[in-house]
Amino acid sequence: MNKITDYCKNTDEWPNSWKREKRDIEVGERILRNIFIPFFRFLIEKQFTKKTIKKHTNNIWLLGGELIDRVEQEEELRTLNELELVLKFVDSRGGPYSNHIDSESEMISFDSSCKKLYKYLKSIN
């Protein structure tokens, strides 16, 4: 059976890569453990292609960084649980604006992953 590490080898390092300050790591770990990893397992169970899963994991890594940036900008966001935080910025139209996206095709890809994550979260909640 395929494992998440078959598609993305360093997810355990993601919270550290997103942090602006030490306390961001805990927020990032909760998002990763409770939202992103179950989503990746879902994609694997649904037998999406390796290329598609890699695209989604790359985009979701970017989303995690954007969420931590928002938490840094708006302190009250730290009081939200991980599901509330993700759903504040991800919906049926896509994800948040990112300064790290350089082209329309990258934005379309990012929004596609965010929409898929949103649909998954709505299906389990």
Token duo for residue 37: 């990893």
Report the SS3 class of residue 80: coil
Three state DSSP letters for 59-77: HHHHHHHHHHHHHHHCHHH
Cα–Cα distance for residue pair 85/83, rounded to 1 Å: 5
Residues 4-10: what's their mean pLDDT? 78
What residue segments make up the domains of the chain, in order of their start?
A: 4-124
pLDDT tens for residues 70-106?
A: 999 999 999 999 999 999 999 999 999 998 999 999 9
Residue 54: per-residue pLDDT:
92
pTM here is 0.94
Lowest mean pLDDT among 1-15, 28-42, 88-102: 1-15
Count the Cβ atoms, other than its own, within 10 Å of residue 5: 10
Mean pLDDT of 17-24: 95
